[in-house]
Structure 1
């Protein structure tokens, strides 16, 4: 009978050890998830929130400006998600476009610098897109 008792004790000890490891793994996973959430929210607060007000509308663009040139121009102010020049159905520039920034603070810097800047003797107008304005605001 002592052998059976020894076997039972060993199995119980193994189960107890396994339960302790499982608890540690669960706790570790929870702590990692919590750290990621804290880092995300800390990043949002540091970088002026990632809100939908990060679009900058550009009007009075020179007709020769392309999407790549507009994006290159905007990248000096911060991280750019997208830069788009509006074109009509014939492929001609509508002389307006928009830049989408990741952070509102970068968009504000771009507006301050790009407003009334001249390209090919045309002064550009830059303004922050109002959150109530729909995406299809340009004439087609």
Structure 2
């Protein structure tokens, strides 16, 4: 064999090994994605009575309550997407906000627990927002 054929043969072997590694990495990546998807699906359907998505409106908040405090307060009831205190253009609290939960059952627990709970001697009001309003649809 000539030197040129030896180089071609070595390069071919390296190429075959590299292809095997790529296939293994692709398979591993596919399996990881499949596991993440399965975990998400299990979390989403972990209980039949949980419907996805709900918003709790909070009114009569004390002006000193921040977004982080509202989020921390809401996390004890379940998984949340966001918690937001509403502010005016001057940066003052409008003394209201909302908490968006992943599951309706968590939102209902929050409403039951937070309604008429006092913070800084103010009883805040918690109410489940109508889902048709959230989607921007009209009631029929």
TM-score interval, smaller chain: 0.5 to 0.7
Structural mapping, 1:1-140, within 5 Å: 3-4=1-2, 7=6, 10-46=10-46, 48=50, 51-53=52-54, 55-59=55-59, 61=60, 64=63, 66-67=65-66, 70-80=70-80, 81-85=82-86, 91=92, 93=94, 95-118=95-118, 120=121, 122=123, 124-133=124-133
TM-superposed deviation, 1:110? 0.8
Say if 1:108 and 1:128, in contact at 8 Å, map to a contact too. Answer: yes
Structure 1: stretches of 5+ with no match in the other structure: 136-140
Distance, in Å, in 2 between the alignment partners of 1:88 and 1:22 is 54
**TM-score (norm. length: structure 2):** 0.61
- Cα root mean square deviation, aligned: 3.9
**TM-score (norm. length: structure 1):** 0.61
Q: Deviations over 1:35-67 (max 9, x none)?
A: 222222222223746x442x11123x2655533
TM-superposed deviation, 1:114? 1.9
Note closer, same or farther for the CA distance 1:17–1:40 as it changes in structure 2 (3 Å cut): same
Which secondary structure state, in structure 1, belongs to the residue aligned with residue 130 of structure 2? coil
Q: Deviations over 1:99-130 (max 9, x none)?
A: 233443332211111224455364x4322111
* Structure number with bigger Rg: 1
Pairs aligned (count)? 129
Which secondary structure state, in structure 2, belongs to the residue aligned with residue 133 of structure 1? helix
Name segments (4+ residues, structure 1) moved above 6 Å: none
